[in-house]
Amino acid sequence: MMATRIEIITTGEDLRQLATPWDNLWRQSEAGIFQAHPWIAAWWRECHRDHRLSIVCAWRAGILVGVLPLCVRRWHGVRVLEWAAQPYSDYCDVLLLDRDSDLLERMWAALYRHGGFDLMRLKHVRPDALVDHSVLGSQERTEVCLQVTKLWPDGAAWYKTLNKKTRNNYQRGKRILGEARMRQIGPGEPYTAEIRNLVALKRHWQANRDSPLVRSDTILLALAKALDQIGSLRIFLIEQAGVVIAGSVNAVHGDKMLALFATYDPAHERASPGILLMTDYTKWAFDHGIVEVDYLLGAEPYKFRYANQQTRLHIFVAARTLIGRVALKVYGRLHRPPDPEFDIGSAYRTEKGTTRATPPADSEDAPETDSRYHSTPTPTPPANVHHVLPGASRRRQ
């Protein structure tokens, strides 16, 4: 067997030099956009003052075969290990050339020998993530991402399955906005002014002013540049007389589209321009080979109405030091929000509750059950949230 070398990257310069081998690994492993080097590098350039890198890399014969993209930040004096770019990445995971559990175990072991953290809190872990859930400690709670998967031949067929109320609201909004039109910005096209305008619009909404993407004037633009670099950026706008009244910053990756950031001008709230834009870009997606539109994290009601699928994301916590155990015990007592119960897919049901979105029963695209249109029972988080990883008590900082 080829010898494996494991190193831990802690500086921005080392991260920069990893660009080419990281990119090769990312493409060969078919990882998501949130694991792309340009995305992580853009986050680091904007947020390096608040974090310390702790990226575990595995090499074989000079080829990068594994990356565990992590960082450490301070939380009330406690050193917390988390995913690199975690606040901006809805799906977090390791990069591996092959599903090699032994290699991943060695990478975790190297991280624990390196130390430098008291508490591990890893968010946004999908059920199908490559990272081994069993080594991540206790599950604190779950979050949900909502998607609409393609069950129809095209966007027009999808639109026809929306219930009468939803379609009437869409047409009403179109009439109110009059000559407004949708415009798309793709890879390689200028977008800086539009991004800045969307951030300004988002700040009109009091509830959004503390969002990680709008606290800074530059982070959304930096991440958009990263998406443009990998050829994934798609920006959808509704304009009226040349003025942007709604916008969505999306990413197309393979046959999926992810909606990362959306807002609209509150002066046009009566027309629901955000819903109009969401409807239009979903129709566009289903007309252009996209099989899933992912609305990502967030409990906005409009996502529940349009979604026909959900993905439960896990948050794992574990203490490494005495300070971490005390902090985790305090945190567990103060922050135990219940998982919300919700019902998705209301835009596909009539007032009588009849589902209109499923294809005919004899269709090859028909789902096996209508249960996908409803929430699944929420698992109860384990009581022992202050779990300590095996062997942690034997390791020094």
Sketch out the chain's domains with CATH numbers: 4-142+383-394 (3.40.630), 152-307+342-373 (3.40.630.30)
Q: Give the C-alpha separation, 107 to 56, whole Å.
A: 6
| pLDDT value of position 384 | 33
Residue 345: band (very low, low, confident or very high) from pLDDT cuts 50, 70, 90 = confident
| pLDDT value of position 67 | 97
| pLDDT value of position 32 | 95
Weakest mean pLDDT among 45-49, 136-140, 283-287, 340-344: 340-344
On the question of pLDDT at 230 being above 60, the answer is yes
Percent of the chain scoring above 70 in pLDDT: 84
| pLDDT value of position 136 | 75
Go through 64-75 and write b for each residue having 16 or more CB atoms within 10 A of its CB, e for each that does not.
bbbbbbbbbbee
Residue tagged 């996908």 (tokens): 372
What's the average model confidence in pLDDT over 312-337? 82
Per-residue DSSP letter, 1: -
Q: Give the C-alpha separation, 91 to 300, whole Å.
A: 18
| pLDDT value of position 353 | 66
| pLDDT value of position 169 | 94
Weakest mean pLDDT among 68-72, 74-78, 249-253: 74-78
| pLDDT value of position 126 | 93
On the question of pLDDT at 356 being above 90, the answer is no
Helices and strands (DSSP H and E) totals, the chain: 12, 15
| pLDDT value of position 267 | 92
Q: Give the C-alpha separation, 314 to 189, whole Å.
A: 36
Q: What is the pTM of this model?
A: 0.85
Residue 342: band (very low, low, confident or very high) from pLDDT cuts 50, 70, 90 = low
Residue 392: band (very low, low, confident or very high) from pLDDT cuts 50, 70, 90 = very low
- Per-residue pLDDT tens digits for 103-139: 999 999 999 999 999 999 999 999 999 987 767 777 7
Q: How far is CA 157 from the centre of its chain?
A: 28
Residue tagged 């985790």 (tokens): 328
Q: Which residue has the higher pLDDT, 26 or 207?
A: 26
Cα dihedral across residues 69, 73, 75, 78: positive or negative: positive
Q: Give the C-alpha separation, 303 to 293, whole Å.
A: 11
- Per-residue pLDDT tens digits for 145-186: 999 999 999 999 999 999 999 999 999 999 999 989 999 998
Those residues whose C-beta lies under 8 Å from the C-beta of residue 143, and which sit 6 or more positions away, are 123, 124, 297, 312, 313, 315
What's at 377, amino acid-wise?
P
Q: Give the C-alpha separation, 24 to 44, whole Å.
A: 20
Q: Are the beta carbons of 253 and 91 closer than 8 angstroms?
A: no
Residue tagged 């119960």 (tokens): 341
Average pLDDT of the chain? 85
Percent of the chain scoring above 90 in pLDDT: 65
Q: Give the C-alpha separation, 155 to 159, whole Å.
A: 6
- Per-residue pLDDT tens digits for 34-64: 999 999 999 999 998 889 999 999 999 999 9
